[in-house]
Amino acid sequence: MKNMGNSIKNFLFLLKPIWKYGKCYSILSVLIAVVLTPISSLCNVLFTQNIVDAVASEKSYQSVLQIICQYLLIQLLVSTVQSIYDIFYNERASFKIEQKMKDEIYQCILRTDYEYFDDPSFYNNYTWAVNEYIGKAYEAKSLFINLISSVAIVITMSSTILLLGPWILVITIIEILINTYMQSKQNKVNLEKRETNIPIERRLGYVHQAFSNRANAADIRTTKVKDILYEIYDENTTKKSDNITRFSKRIFSYSYPRSFIGIIYNGLILGYISYGIIISKKIDGVGKFTSLLSANTQLVNALSNVFNLFTIVDNLSLYAEKIKGFFTIESKIENQEGGCVSSDSAFSLAINNLSFSYSNSCFGLKNINMTISAGEKVAIVGVNGSGKTTFMKLLLRLYDPTEGDILYNGISIKEYNLKKLRSKVGIAFQSINVYATTLSRNLQLYNHLPEDQLLKNMEKVELLDVLQKNGSTLNTELTRNFSADGIMLSTGEKQKLGIARIMAQDFGLLLLDEPSATLDPISEYKLAKLIFDTANRTTSIIISHRLSMIRNADRIYVMNDGSIIENGTHEELLALKGLYYDMFTKQSEGFME
């Protein structure tokens, strides 16, 4: 009983969005199910009996036509109402509900802490939600509609069958109970098969994306990456093929007995009805024989729907549990509202004894301390994997530190309204995401600006030539995902786009992670001038491996293995002759050579 109660709760969970976003749609669906469907079913049974009896008794052609016309009139009325509902209402209402449900998924992603994106199981739950949520919700709705429709049909058909052949009802119920049990077992195997295949299908999908991704096209044609992708493809194709074979044996053990019992059942029904006609004489006339077969067929389908309710609800419940696993993720960071609002002026920062470690990893940040005054330009350097980017993510509160705290303007980052705080932080990372929409929209991720201001910002970062060489405008789409005339940006142009984005408004803090990594020396020089110009009064933190970029910073912090090992001005760090000195002299030697 407890399991059934949980299954019903999960069933209602799937029905909830249909009702929430389409109350009128739900009510109309129920009315059609309990009124139109039973009328149509009863009409079919009675028409079959009346028309066969009329022909067999050699009634006049006019009488036969009258029966046909009455039947057609009822069916035409039912069909008209159903068609109007399907064509003019159902599709549009369903589309609106589906969009609302997709929005639920997007909103859930926005509320999900960043740390979950490091967890492959999160993507499995996400895949369940994206692929199954809408489909299973509509499956639950269809089940509910079929159930109430089937109950109405059972009541209608049973009255006819009980008068002519009560044992038909007994035989039918026994067959359906056995079939329902076997179906429930088969459904569990099907779900286990689906769950086992999801990680495999994700890897196969990754291979498909890798082959079709333009960014990989050169590697695929010039390196052995295609062989690696084929290895992944073959390995997971074999796994899925093995799964199909393994699960097919189990599915067959339930599906074949169901087919066998169905064949025996049909023989028993035909034998019983024939006995009623030939031996007991309880079934009189060809019309009643035919109508009884028709009524029994509809009764079987209706009773199957009713009895299968428990099996299907249980099956849907298993899917619902997976989907709920996505919607019920506990997010401690993104769901915390916070009361403090950041100021419009440049931020001051205090990093106190900050430590952080990833789960299932021995790497972490250890006892980081910094004091950054409002308007200061601070640089962070270090070898790859020393923790620089992780530190930036902590400043955005994508993660919470294991120990210590981050203070903005003297207030803990945990006290702020996170959405409003982040709106005051401008970000330009090495890997700039370009979205398949207009150039104008790509430039306005932080703020809406008039066209002339967007063009001025593009000019400052030397991005205007993109329009000239492509014969494009701000309304031309970036990428060629949806437009053959789309602008394809080089890696350096993408970095310039990232800088142009943060010029759309004034920030309290700028976080720049390798902002010049793919720029030519002249562009890098101009970018450094923009960042370190006295006109830029925004507090700025810059990560860069190109030390010429950050030599004018107010203070430079050197990170190694998750710790700050040196800090000072460019000249002070050279005088120390430590890691910074080694890095700078090695780069200088390269230029001197």
Q: What is the pLDDT of residues 24-64, one digit of tens each?
A: 999 988 888 888 777 777 777 777 667 666 766 667 778 77
Q: Are residues 247 and 354 in the same domain?
A: no
The number of domains in the chain is 3
Q: What is the mean pLDDT of residues 497-502?
A: 89
Q: What is the total residue count of the chain?
A: 593
Q: Are 418 and 466 contained in the same domain?
A: no
Q: Is the residue at 333 inside a domain?
A: no
Closest CA to 346 of 506, 503, 535, 527: 506
463 and 367 share one domain: no
Q: Which of 485, 487, 479, 486 is nearest to 463 (CA)?
A: 487
Q: Per the domain annotation, does 131 fall within a domain?
A: yes
pLDDT of res. 258: 78
- Contact criterion met (CB below 8 Å) for 114 and 389: no
The CATH number of whichever domain residue 115 belongs to comes to: 1.20.1560.10
In this prediction the pTM is 0.72
d(CA 329, CA 341): 27
CA 190 to CA 210: how far, in whole Å? Answer: 29
Q: How far is 265 from 297, CA to CA, in rounded Å?
A: 12
The pair of three-digit structure tokens given for residue 586, joined into one six-digit string = 């090695």
Structure tokens at 258: 């169901």
Pair (362, 481) in one structural domain: no
As a whole number, mean pLDDT of residues 422-446 equals 88
E strand or H helix at 511, and its extent?
Answer: strand 509-513
Question: Are 372 and 423 within one domain?
Answer: yes
C-beta contacts of 418-423 below 8 A and 24+ residues apart: 418/333, 418/334, 418/336, 418/337, 418/338, 420/341, 420/342, 421/338, 421/341, 421/342, 421/397, 422/396, 422/397
Nearest to 426 by CA among 540, 557, 526: 540
Residue 420 covered by a domain: yes
- What is the rounded average pLDDT for all residues in the chain? 83
Rounded alpha-carbon distances, angstroms, from residue 240 to 29, 189, 195, 233, 248 = 39, 15, 12, 10, 12
193 in a structural domain = yes
- If you average pLDDT over residues 534-554, what whole number do you get? 83
* pLDDT number for residue 159: 64
Assess whether pLDDT exceeds 80 at residue 555. Answer: yes
Residue 230 lies in a domain: yes
493, part of any domain? no
Task: Decide if 573 contacts 536 (C-beta within 8 A).
Answer: no
pLDDT band at 541 (very low <50, low <70, confident <90, very high): very high
- What pLDDT score was predicted for residue 411? 92
Cα–Cα dist 387/559, whole Å: 7
Range of the domain at 451: 435-488
Helix axes 37-56, 286-327, angle to 10 degrees: 160
Tokens for 345, please give them: 């002026």
Q: What is the CA radius of gyration of the chain?
A: 35
Asked whether residue 501 is domain-assigned, the answer is: no
| CA triple 274-278-283, angle to 5 deg | 70
